[in-house]
Amino acid sequence: MAALELRGVSKRFPGVAAVTEVDLDVLPGEVHVFAGENGAGKSTLMKLVAQVEEPSSGRVTLHGEPVTFQGPGAARRLGISMVHQEFALAPDLSVAQNLFIGHEPGRYGWIARGDERKEAAALLRRVGLDVDPQRRVAQLSTAEQQRVELAKALAVDSTVLILDEPTATLTEREAEDLFGIVRELTAQGIAVLYISHRLDEIFEIGDRVTVMRDGVVVDTQPVSELDESRLVQLMVGRDVQNLYPRTHSDEPGEIRLRVDNLTRTGAVHDVSFEVRAGEIVGMAGLVGAGRTELARTVFGAEPPDSGTVSLDGRVLKIRTPADAIAAGIGYLTESRKTDGLAMHLGVDKNVTLANLPMRAGFIDLGAERRTAEKSREGLDIRGVPWVGRPVRTLSGGNQQKVVLARWLETGADVLLFDEPGRGMDVGAKSEMFQAMDSLAAEGKAIVFISSYLPELLNMCDRILVMRAGGIVGEVARTEFTEERVVALATGAKGNHE
């Protein structure tokens, strides 16, 4: 018997059909992957299963019993839990309190804190997390919070577990640990519904994969019967000839960005490097190595204690992001939602945010609109019939294009890309990497931070490896291997730096 059955399930919002007539079976003990471009309907479908959204039509059956919509609390009581990409934890509460919010152990209205801690410890052992249940969630790392989310899902005896991009903020090693936990859960008969944009992990963790496009299920097949090119074709509806369209130059130009002995106490230690015109220089390292901190320091978001930043041979005085922008440096932040975009504002406002068109002391709204329309066409920003549309309504890939459009409008000569492919589908990633390649061809100097090594190995001319806030090695393109980069990042013995 299937753990979960969907028959004719649809979801319509005003003016759009998000999910259309989905028929699906999910088996106990399998990892059923859902793949497709952003906006394909994957997350909406998962919200229908978890009763975050109510289906417009269709039928959902759990272990042979029909399910009526009563909200996410009812879904959890039935054994359906969802771990969202953005964690739903209360940071100021303890781990134990987070695990049992809404169903605390106790009697007569009193919470049995001792029982809560004991049961929490058992759940944490189940997901391989060795932390004090009384520790505040805010004190945990991202990977540890991910495991708390898993334990919270298991606290309600889940038989169907939904994971939405669970490795988006994890290192390769942390992702492998997560896969081990998922395999243990499926061995216990739990059905795992797994959304991912990473092709390699689909083939590593998945048993079957359902591909969605435009709200419709295109195909469901065993992962073992697919290869990467066929899966990509199903996802985007066309052949993607090259996910990493890099045209490397044998002779980069003059030095554009030069960083000398840059230090920020507790984050960046005596860092020196340079980037030439036409180069894409990668920054690799484990989470906490200092890559984002370095980018923020160069950009002035966190001013340095010592050291210099130079552009085209001119030493800059950067104390704030405004100084960096004025000098010609742009920064696509790691988190576009919290640091990169004003989510409630329109595309037009976001595109011109760093370079407001002014006339007679007022913002020129006509010029603002024309600038945004030009960016919409030039970068193929989709889902924007009018440029005043709030960016929160766009897919992740299109939001990232809006951020890129902003920096292109400033005429920035140096661009810092911090995890630009995170949360983006394969088609959107290909377009972003194409944009990076074109910018390098125009003579821009690009720093590319990524936790996903295949991106760096395919897109970069050189890779700088960071550890503990400093650069510990450089790898030339002719010497690129995952093993060499990982050895530098981890400080493995026998590595020649």
For residue 475, the cross-strand partners are 463
CA-closest candidate to residue 53, choices 11, 6, 3, 9: 11
Separation of alpha carbons 151 and 147, rounded Å: 6
Give the model's pLDDT for residue 225.
93
What is the dihedral sign for C-alpha 76, 45, 200, 167? Answer: negative
Q: Residue 366 is encoded by which pair of tokens?
A: 């006509």
Rounded to whole angstroms, the Cα distance separating 209 from 221 reads 6
- Whole-number pLDDT of residue 333: 87
DSSP string, 238-295: S--S-SS-----SS--SEEEEEEEEEETTTEEEEEEEEETT-EEEEE--TTSSHHHHH
| Domain 4-236 class, CATH top level | alpha beta
Rounded to two decimals, the pTM is: 0.63
Q: Do domains 4-236 and 255-490 have the same CATH topology?
A: yes
Count other Cβ atoms within 10 Å, centred on residue 182: 19
pLDDT at 347: 87
Identify the pLDDT of residue 48. Answer: 94
In angstroms, the CA 54 to CA 324 distance is 47
pLDDT at 496: 44
Tell me 94's DSSP state: B
C-alpha to C-alpha distance for 460 and 457, rounded to whole angstroms = 6
| SS3 state at 442 | coil
Residue 381 and residue 402 in contact, taking contact as beta carbons nearer than 8 Å: yes
Reported as half-sphere exposure (CB side, CA atoms, 13 A), residue 339 has a value of 12
pLDDT at residue number 239: 54
Residue in the structure block whose two tokens are 């969907």: 6
Phi, psi of 351 (to 5 degrees): -65, -40
CA distance 217 to 428: 20
User: What DSSP assignment string belongs to 320-367?
Assistant: SHHHHHHHTEEEE-S-IIIII--TTSBHHHHHTTTS--EETTEE-HHH
CB 352 within 8 A of CB 371: yes
Measured CA to CA in angstroms, residue 447 lies from 86, 171, 354, 464, 474 at distances of 26, 20, 20, 10, 14
Are 134 and 94 a contacting pair, CB within 8 Å? yes
Determine the pLDDT at residue 316: 94
The answer to whether 299 touches 478, Cβ cutoff 8 Å, is no
Q: What residues does each domain of the chain span?
A: 4-236, 255-490
Contact present, 298 and 416 (Cβ < 8 Å): yes
pLDDT tens per residue, the chain (497 residues)? 899 999 999 998 876 788 999 999 999 999 999 988 767 888 889 999 999 999 999 999 999 999 999 998 899 889 998 887 667 788 888 888 888 876 667 666 677 777 788 888 988 888 878 889 888 988 887 778 888 888 888 777 889 999 988 887 676 777 888 898 899 889 999 999 999 878 888 999 999 999 998 889 999 999 999 988 888 888 877 555 567 777 766 678 999 999 999 999 989 999 999 999 999 999 998 777 899 999 999 999 988 999 999 999 999 999 999 999 999 999 988 877 777 788 888 888 888 887 778 888 888 888 888 888 888 888 777 777 778 888 888 877 788 888 888 888 888 999 999 988 876 777 778 888 888 999 999 999 999 999 888 889 989 999 999 998 999 999 998 899 888 888 888 776 544 44
The superfamily in CATH containing domain 255-490 is: P-loop containing nucleotide triphosphate hydrolases (3.40.50.300)
